Amino acid sequence: MSKKLKILVIRFSSIGDIILTTPILRCLKNQLNADIDFLTNSLNQELLLTNTNISDVFGLSKNTTQIIDILRSKEYDIVIDLQNNFKSLKIRLSLGVHSFVLDKGTLKRYLLIYLGIDLLNNHIVDRYFKTISSLKVSNDGKGIDYPLSENTTAKFNFKKDYIAWCIGGTYEQKKLSLAQISYVISKIKIPVVLLGGGNEKRISSLLHEKNINSKNIYDFCGETNIKESAYLMQNSKLVLTNDTGMMHIASAFDIPIVSFWGCTKPSLGFYPYMPNKKSVNIIVNSSKRPCSKHGKYCRSSVNGCIKEIDSQIIYNTIVKLIK
């Protein structure tokens, strides 16, 4: 009996980028009958612990020497580097095995952001698969994996329909404003579950305090972990979200997603991957090209051009999808 292929996949961050590796993990395991290990930042380890396509998930802290010693002992046949930075290069060189490295398309991304010339024309998941094209692993078209353990739950009455709204974002320039969200919630009759981290608590509290429809608002910001937030999305009728990691997790569930785009644009290749077919991307009209790579800078507004999205369009989209 031949020895199983042992593969290490590297992706340190961010939440969304890690979740977007799950199609390639599944296909590597199923098509090569391989043992897959994953190396990420220690803060992101939990994201993949329930993924049955992975044997071990290793967390990288500041002490790289210790983790390199552990990885060496695993005697990998292949390293697939989907991060492609100095830290991942150091690990690849230390392991000294055949490696496949993601082409980030830096020049193409530059042309898109600064000149509006789009030569990317694909999703990051497609680029992940292109990285390992010589392994003859093909995309099975089954989308994102985000399995939840059987004991995952949240304190909420799941007998009624509701919308899950992820109001967070890495930068202020990637978030809808308090006014936009408040307007929409004031008009809809279906309950809204607000999701986000502790940084969103101020906004969620204001939404609850000042909205005439406050009885329909359920504020979970800063009160749930990622798995619990995912569970709330999974059981919702519809997910509303900025360009965040939670948007990519929502793609694993068969529910419509309405995503909002300003400084970042779907053309960068990080839009929801194979979500429910009713999903909609609402993109600001002021510019067809992205303002910046990660949405930290906006070329038209200090607070982000996402705040130019018409709230009435958001409301109309919701009404159409929850009919």
Distance CA 10, CA 63 (A): 16
Query: Is residue 176 domain-shared with residue 311, that is, in the same domain?
Result: yes
The band of 288, judged by pLDDT with boundaries at 50, 70 and 90, is confident
Query: Is residue 131 domain-shared with residue 193, that is, in the same domain?
Result: no
Count of structural domains within the chain: 2
Structure tokens that stand for 100 in this block: 């496949």
**CATH code, domain carrying 12:** 3.40.50.2000
Q: What pLDDT does 253 receive?
A: 97
Query: Is residue 117 domain-shared with residue 176, that is, in the same domain?
Result: no
Instruction: Please indicate, yes or no, if residue 116 is contained in any of the structural domains.
Output: yes
Structure tokens that stand for 182 in this block: 């408040």
Angle, helices 201-210/178-187, rounded to nearest 10 degrees: 40
Residue 246 and residue 164 in contact, taking contact as beta carbons nearer than 8 Å: no
Instruction: Please indicate, yes or no, if residue 145 is contained in any of the structural domains.
Output: no
Q: What pLDDT does 158 receive?
A: 87
Query: Is residue 273 domain-shared with residue 167, that is, in the same domain?
Result: yes
Query: Is residue 178 domain-shared with residue 314, that is, in the same domain?
Result: yes
Query: Is residue 222 domain-shared with residue 127, that is, in the same domain?
Result: no
Q: Is the pLDDT of residue 1 over 70?
A: no
pLDDT single digits (tens) 95-139: 999 999 999 999 999 999 999 999 999 999 999 999 999 999 999
Query: Is residue 234 domain-shared with residue 313, that is, in the same domain?
Result: yes
| Alpha helices for 96-225 (secondary structure H) | 106-110, 124-131, 178-187, 201-210
Query: Is residue 111 domain-shared with residue 219, that is, in the same domain?
Result: no
Query: Is residue 187 domain-shared with residue 308, that is, in the same domain?
Result: yes
CA distances from 290 to 124, 151, 180, 262, 304 (A): 16, 40, 21, 8, 11
Domain that holds residue 305: 163-321
Q: What pLDDT does 208 receive?
A: 86
State the average pLDDT over residues 185-192: 94
Query: Is residue 301 domain-shared with residue 191, that is, in the same domain?
Result: yes
Query: Is residue 169 domain-shared with residue 305, that is, in the same domain?
Result: yes
| Alpha helices for the chain (secondary structure H) | 15-19, 22-32, 64-74, 86-95, 106-110, 124-131, 178-187, 201-210, 226-234, 245-250, 311-321
Distance CA 274, CA 279 (A): 9
Mean pLDDT of the chain: 95
Q: What pLDDT does 186 receive?
A: 94
Residue 34 and residue 28 in contact, taking contact as beta carbons nearer than 8 Å: yes
Instruction: Please indicate, yes or no, if residue 148 is contained in any of the structural domains.
Output: no
The band of 263, judged by pLDDT with boundaries at 50, 70 and 90, is very high
Note the pTM of the prediction, 2 decimals: 0.95
Q: What pLDDT does 2 receive?
A: 66
Domain closes at, from 115, 135, 155: 135
Percent of the residues in the chain that have a pLDDT greater than 70, as a whole number: 99
pLDDT single digits (tens) 30-81: 999 999 999 999 999 999 999 999 999 999 988 888 999 999 999 999 999 9
Residue 174 and residue 198 in contact, taking contact as beta carbons nearer than 8 Å: no
Instruction: Please indicate, yes or no, if residue 313 is contained in any of the structural domains.
Output: yes
CA distances from 180 to 109, 186, 190, 260 (A): 30, 10, 17, 12
Query: Is residue 231 domain-shared with residue 180, that is, in the same domain?
Result: yes
Q: Is the pLDDT of residue 248 over 60?
A: yes
Domain closes at, from 99, 116, 135: 135
Instruction: Please indicate, yes or no, if residue 141 is contained in any of the structural domains.
Output: no
Instruction: Please indicate, yes or no, if residue 143 is contained in any of the structural domains.
Output: no
Instruction: Please indicate, yes or no, if residue 152 is contained in any of the structural domains.
Output: no
Q: Is the pLDDT of residue 212 over 80?
A: no
Residue 73 C-alpha from the chain's centroid: 32
Residue 298 and residue 304 in contact, taking contact as beta carbons nearer than 8 Å: yes
Instruction: Please indicate, yes or no, if residue 59 is contained in any of the structural domains.
Output: yes
